[in-house]
Amino acid sequence: MSAVSQNAAREPVKIDSSISYETPHAYYKSLREQCPVAITDIGVFVVLKHRYMDMLLDNANTRQFELEGMMLRGISSGPLYEFYRDVMLFANGDVHKRRRAPMVRTFAYKLMDGVRPRVREIAGEVIEAHRGKGPVNFLDAFSRAIPARIIAEIIGAPPSDWEKFSKWVAAAARGIGFFQNDELPEIDAGVAALGAYVEELLNDRRAAPRDDFLTSYARATASAGDLTENEIRMQMAGVILAGADTTRTGTASVLSQLLQHQDQWALVCEDPDKWKKAAVEEGLRYDPPVGSVPRFTLRELEIEGVVIPEGRVVSMSVLSGLRDPDVYPDPDRFDIRREGIPRWNIAFGGGSHRCLGEALARAEMEESIATIARLAPNIAMIGKPPTIKGAAAIRHIDAMTVEFS
């Protein structure tokens, strides 16, 4: 037994999934105050305290999900199944390293951080296109457009293609979270279209190399020579998927909180470069796009007397950990002036599976918020603020309407 404490044996608190979906923050707070570990009605252990997150992400204690999610749903073929089978996100050990290595070489931090001027330029174009024209669907017109256009440019896709593949991404992204069985045909269609699109782009770069990300990736996979064609396609599809959907939610979440706290929005507007990083950091902490990271235990674990057996599903609750008062004093207060925060935000996961696109996502969100603060400080949110629902995997945002003036 891996003893985290010497407390007497205790039972995890039970989770009511219907409550956790509708009002996750208040509900997880009540659970966290009772016990550091909760359990769902299907036997998934949910760890609620930030201090145990590193332990859960340690490859000696747990491993990433692979095809278990598909097996539990009875899915054994089709585009979504092939995505799970061949993408780095759902792989472990040497397989994960083999798939991730070419991306690490081409998805370098400096390259991703270097997109900041282009993000500012695109954000400015979007703002000017909608200034003074009344209410705007912020999710589609801005927070979906920025990451989709940037990833299109990074992979060398034609500029006009971003609207097309962002629709495929939106459909495919539902397959990573919890979805209803009747949604599978649309999800499969999105994954298939995205895979075919990537194949076309890769074939083009192999025939006519350019000085771009996709050519670098094609060369890296060719020199390694240890990935199948479908693995090569799925890593690129995964990058496009990760580079669009969660950033869309994250940007909207950050801006909506700032606009609900006008004193803090005023700080950002006074000095966007000083506050953009802190604003995004706090926004992601307060209401993250990803609710949890599920893993499988490789050995028996004990957390404050709660025993989690070997071979069980254990979920790191990002949502709960980011509001743990032991790490974030007064955690239900949104405050971009917060100090003493951990260096690594668990909103991007951790360990060997930490989000490869973190630098890109931060660049997109920070420069988007800063550009709005510079060019449209009087932006107004129309109607109610957006709601981000769900406590597991990728969360879902409903709507956000703004007016650029």
Number of domains in the chain: 1
pLDDT score of 1: 44
pLDDT score of 110: 66
**79-97: burial string, b at 16+ Cβ within 10 Å, e else:** bbbbbbbbbbbbbbeeebe
Length of the chain counted residue by residue? 405
pLDDT score of 169: 86
**What's the rounded Cα separation, in Å, for the pair 127 and 142?**
8
Per-residue pLDDT of the chain (405 residues; tens, 9 = 90+): 454 555 668 999 999 887 877 789 999 999 999 999 999 999 999 999 999 999 999 999 999 999 998 998 999 999 999 999 999 999 999 999 999 988 887 666 667 778 899 999 999 999 999 999 999 999 999 999 999 898 888 888 888 888 888 889 889 988 887 788 899 999 999 999 999 999 999 999 999 998 888 888 888 898 888 999 999 999 988 877 876 778 999 999 999 999 999 999 999 999 999 999 999 999 999 999 999 999 999 999 999 999 999 999 999 999 999 999 999 999 999 999 999 999 999 999 998 999 888 889 999 999 999 999 999 999 999 999 999 988 888 888 999 999 999
pLDDT score of 166: 83
The most distant pair of C-alpha atoms in the chain lies apart, rounded to whole Å, by 66
Helix (H, G, I), strand (E, B) or coil at 110: helix
DSSP code for 298: S
pLDDT score of 155: 80
Which range marks the domain in which residue 151 is found?
A: 2-403
Burial of 77 (0-12, 13-18, 19+ CB in 10 A): exposed
pLDDT score of 337: 97
pLDDT score of 2: 52
Helices 229-242 & 184-207, crossing angle to 10 degrees?
A: 110
pLDDT score of 223: 85
The per-type count for the chain, helices as H runs and strands as E runs, is 19, 14
pLDDT score of 233: 92
DSSP code for 303: E
What is the reported pTM? 0.92
Helices 245-260 & 162-173, crossing angle to 10 degrees?
A: 90
**What's the rounded Cα separation, in Å, for the pair 349 and 315?**
12
CA angle 29, 388, 174 (to 5 degrees): 120
Specify the amino acid at residue 174. Answer: R
Which CATH number goes with the domain that contains 277? 1.10.630.10
Phi-psi label, residue 305: left if phi above 0, alpha if psi -120 to 50, beta otherwise: left
